[in-house]
Amino acid sequence: MDTKKLLKNLGIIQKHLEKNEKWFQHPEKKMGQFEKDMDEWNNRYLKSMNEIEKWIKELEKKLDG
């Protein structure tokens, strides 16, 4: 690998790490919020899936009727 390319890529990585330094300093805070958001999304998703399943069962009953 070319040394210039390696140094350039390392510079790019360092730039991104500096931008995201706050994330790396307090990951437990970020993960807590992320988990909370994912739990909320999951609950909405499961609720929607239950409604769809109910609708499908009702449709099956009407078709079998």
Nearest-angstrom CA–CA distance, 21 and 62 = 58
Tell me which of 1-5, 21-25, 29-33 is least confident.
Answer: 21-25
Q: What is the three-state SS of 6-25?
A: HHHHHHHHHHHHHHCHHHHH
Q: Which helix (H) or strand (E) holds 37?
A: helix 27-64
Instruction: Give me the mean pLDDT over the 8-36 stretch.
Output: 81
Pairwise CA distance, residues 58 & 5, whole Å:
62
Quote the pLDDT of residue 1. 57
